[in-house]
């Protein structure tokens, strides 16, 4: 898995136009793919970056496009930390999937998310997500706790409030856990084993319908 992750990261960085440097290949990398808009919580992530850079060796990779002010903030951060923040401003499905597969941690701090696909992509690619407990994110990502680790259900990190402090705390927890390779590999395996396909969902619907009592209409006396 580690070798595949490294190959994917190298392909991602090259596709984004960056040289392959040791720290970018070996240090923990946090990624984001999506629209650069308020709904996605990208402003929270940008606000959290300086503290995360000062407290960890983590790097960041971004693929997306959106509000001009947020794009400008991302450009400024990349210029300030050129060896630790890697960006592709624009829509690119191939690079987006390379990022999902190549980074170690996927950040999705959405303020609201009716369903969400990227967290499911990241689970499939062996990239534990950090998400806010909302909508489809709450339905698909199980927070790492002693109980969920023991039950082999943990697959990521979840925080409750849409603020910088809770997001920073969750990302720090993810980076710290990444250093514990036995736990990290269990998270990866749990996530990759999940099935969000329509084949499974269709079976769930069939069970639901078959278990629903039939209601018969009666004529008035």
pLDDT at 217 over 70: no
The CA distance from 97 to 106, in Å, is: 12
pTM above 0.85, yes or no: yes
Higher pLDDT, 197 or 25: 25
Asked if residues 95 and 88 have their Cβ atoms less than 8 Å apart, the reply is yes
Cα 160 from chain centroid? 15
Query: For residue 220, is pLDDT > 60?
Result: no
For residues 106 and 130, give the distance between their C-alpha atoms in angstroms, rounded to a whole number. 6
Is the CB of residue 152 less than 8 Å from the CB of residue 193? Answer: no
CB atoms within 10 A of CB 187: 27
pLDDT for 164-177, tens place per residue? 999 999 999 999 99
Q: Which of 190, 120, 105, 181 is nearest to 149 (CA)?
A: 190
Residue 31 has a pLDDT of 98
Query: How does pLDDT run across 51-60, given as a tens digit for each residue?
Result: 999 999 999 9
**Residue 211: Cβ within 10 Å count:** 7
DSSP-assigned beta bridge partners for residue 88: 63
Residues across the chain: 221
Partnered with residue 36 across adjacent β-strands are 66
Average pLDDT value for residue range 103-119:
96
Query: In the chain, what are the domains?
Result: 2-196 (3.40.50.2000)
- In the sheet with 129-132, reading across from the earlier edge strand, the strands are 85-89, 59-64, 29-33, 105-108, 129-132, 157-159
Least confident of 27-31, 71-75, 199-203: 199-203
Report whether pLDDT(140) > 60. yes
**Is the per-residue pLDDT at 219 higher than 50?**
no
Q: Which tens digits make up the pLDDT trace of 192-216? A: 998 877 676 677 777 888 886 654 4
Region label for 108, one of left (φ > 0), alpha (ψ between -120 and 50) or beta (otherwise): beta
Mean per-residue pLDDT for 67-85?
A: 97
* Predicted pLDDT of residue 212: 66
């Amino acid at each position: 898995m580690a070798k595949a992750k490294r190959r994917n990261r190298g392909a991602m960085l090259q596709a984004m136009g960056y040289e392959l440097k040791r720290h970018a290949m070996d240090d923990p990398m946090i990624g984001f793919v999506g629209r650069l808009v308020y709904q996605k919580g990208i402003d929270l992530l940008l606000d959290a970056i300086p503290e995360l850079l000062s407290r960890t060796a983590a790097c960041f990779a971004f693929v997306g496009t959106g509000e001009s002010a947020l794009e400008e903030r991302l450009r400024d951060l990349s210029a300030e930390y050129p060896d630790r923040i890697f960006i592709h401003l624009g829509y690119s499905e191939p690079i987006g999937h390379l990022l999902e597969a190549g980074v170690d941690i996927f950040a999705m701090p959405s303020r609201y998310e009716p369903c969400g696909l990227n967290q499911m992509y990241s689970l499939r690619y062996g990239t534990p997500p950090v998400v806010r407990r909302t909508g489809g994110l709450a339905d698909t990502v199980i927070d790492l706790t002693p109980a969920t680790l023991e039950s082999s259900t943990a697959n990521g990190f979840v925080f409750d409030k849409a603020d910088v402090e809770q997001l920073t705390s969750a990302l720090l927890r993810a980076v710290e856990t990444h250093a514990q390779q036995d736990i990290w590999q269990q998270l990866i395996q749990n996530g990759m084993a999940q099935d969000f396909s329509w084949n499974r969902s269709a079976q769930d619907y069939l069970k639901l319908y078959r278990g629903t009592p039939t209601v018969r209409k009666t004529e008035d006396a």
